Amino acid sequence: MKVTIDSISIEVEPGTTILNAARMIGGDIVPPAMCYYSKLEGSGGKCRTCLVKVSKGSEKDPRPMPKLVASCRTTVMDGMEVQNISSPEVIEARKGVVEMLLINHPLDCPVCDQAGECHLQDLGYEHGAAKTRYEFDRRTFERIDIGDKIQLHMTRCILCYRCVFVADQITDHRIHGILNRGDHSEISTYITAAVDNDFSGNVIDVCPVGALTDKTFRFKNRVWFTKPVEAHRDCDHEKCNGKVTLWYKGEDVIRVTARKDEYGEVEEFICNTCRFDKKKTADWVIEGPRKVSNKSVISSNHYDTLKPLPVVKTNPLLQQANKEQFERETRL
Partner 1 sequence: MARKLLLEHINVPGINTFDVYRSKGGYAAVEKALKTLTPEEIVEEVKKSGLRGRGGAGFPTGMKWSFLAKPEGVSRYLVCNGDESEPGTFKDRFLMTHIPHLLIEGMIVSSFALGANTSYIYLRGEMMPQIRILEKAIAEAKAKGFLGKNILGTGYDLELYVQPGGGAYICGEETALLESLEGKRGNPRIKPPFPAIAGLYGCPTVVNNVESIAAVVPIINDGGEEYAKIGIGRSTGTKLISAGGNLKRPGVYEIELGLSAEEFVYGDDYCRGIANGKRLKAVVAGGSSVPILPANLFLKTVNNEARLMSYESLSDGGFVSGTMLGSGGFIAYDEDQCIVRNTWNFSRFYHHESCGQCSPCREGTGWMEKVLHRLEYGHGKLSDIDLLVDVSKKIEGNTICPLGDAAAWPVASAIRHFRDEFEWHVTNAHEATTRNYGIANYADPLNAVVA
Q: In DSSP terms, which residues pair with 212 in a beta bridge?
A: 152
**Residues of the chain by 3-state class (helix, strand, coil), percent to 5:** 30, 20, 50
Q: How far is the CB of 135 from partner 1 (least distance, A)?
A: 8
Q: CB–CB of 267/37 below 8 Å?
A: no
Q: Cα dihedral sign for 145, 283, 249, 305? A: negative
What is the strand order of the sheet 243-249 is part of? 252-258, 243-249, 227-232, 285-289
Q: What is the DSSP letter of 83?
A: E
Does residue 48 touch partner 1 according to CB under 8 A?
A: yes
Contacting partner 1 (CB under 8 A), which of 9, 27, 62, 67?
67
- Residues 5-44, one symbol each (x = binds partner 1 by CB under 8 A, - = not), give ---------------------------------------x
- Nearest Cα residue to 226 out of 117, 99, 70: 117
Contacting partner 1 (CB under 8 A), which of 18, 22, 50, 51?
51
Q: How far is the CB of 102 from partner 1 (least distance, A)?
A: 9
Stretch that binds partner 1, among 175-183, 241-249, 295-303, 321-329 (CB under 8 A): 175-183
Contacting partner 1 (CB under 8 A), which of 24, 103, 109, 235?
103
Q: What is the DSSP letter of 25?
A: H
Q: What is the DSSP letter of 128?
A: S
Contacting partner 1 (CB under 8 A), which of 100, 115, 144, 312?
100
Contacting partner 1 (CB under 8 A), which of 47, 76, 246, 274?
47
d(CA 16, CA 214): 34
Does residue 181 touch partner 1 according to CB under 8 A?
A: yes
The torsion angles phi and psi of 192, rounded to 5 degrees, stand at: 40, 45
| Contacts to partner 1 from residues 113-142, by CB under 8 A | 133-134, 136
Kindly list the residues in this chain that would bind partner 1 in the complex (CB under 8 A). 44-49, 51, 67-68, 70, 73, 93, 96-97, 99-101, 103-104, 133-134, 136, 158-159, 161, 177-178, 180-185
